Amino acid sequence: MALHLNLLHEEQLQQRQRQRDPLKIGMMVLGTLGALMVTYYLWNAYKTLEIRNRLSQVEHDWAKVEPKVTAAQKRSAELNSIISTTKVLDGIIDTRFFWGPFLEKISRCVALNAQLTSIEGNILDDKVVVAIDGLAAGREPRAAAEELRQLLLEQLGPGYKDVKVEFKTLEDLDTIVKIGGANMAMAHFAINVSFSTGAAKAKPAAPAPRVRTPKE
């Protein structure tokens, strides 16, 4: 059996002890952790710089676009205001009262034995009030005036709501007129006409012009 002598036994033992030194191992671990932390920090710093660069680019692009956006917003506000005003005007136009068709209906009711001396009208909110003065002639002038009132009611009823046609005054006159070769008695009447247009409240229209006969 061969005999081996290890003359470096003590040095190898010291070297192994140095390799197993806890302090050295701890320093190595700390160094590794430090390297990892530095790497993580550098990575975050790179991402932060990248985000800042992108933010700067976006801000630069926004600085170019912002004046156009502001102008577009102002224009949009102006157009919305115009649209709102147009809607209000359209509503007023659609719901306003026209005197022409009303006067046409009245003209259909006036027979040869009746004469209108004046017509005055006003609009209060959505209610139209008209005062009609005139003369009627016939063997029964009051009946002729009543016929005119009934015709007004028939003509205005289909086109308007809550129509009322009432005599304010109805009185006989001493005047005699000749119609168709016959002498006829006369009566003076004043008729109040009122009805609802069914329109929303708006600015009252101008009063209808006063209509008078050539005799006045």
Domain ranges of the chain: 10-95, 99-196
Give the distance from CA 198 to its chain's centroid: 20
Contact between 136 and 144 under an 8 Å Cβ cutoff? The reply is yes
Dihedral (Cα; 200, 201, 205, 211), 10-degree rounding: 70
pLDDT band at residue 89 under the 50/70/90 scheme:
confident
Token pair 């046409």: residue = 104
Q: 100 or 18, which is more confident?
A: 100
Per-residue pLDDT at 181 exceeds 90: no
> Mean pLDDT throughout 22-49?
85
Contact between 175 and 186 under an 8 Å Cβ cutoff? The reply is yes
pLDDT at 66: 87
Intra-chain end-to-end CA distance of the chain, in Å: 165
pLDDT band at residue 178 under the 50/70/90 scheme:
confident
pLDDT at 120: 93
pLDDT at 200: 37
pTM over 0.85: no
Q: 170 or 180, which is more confident?
A: 170
> Mean pLDDT throughout 96-102?
84
Average pLDDT over the chain reads 81
Token pair 């990575």: residue = 43
pLDDT at 168: 93
CATH code of domain 99-196: 3.30.70
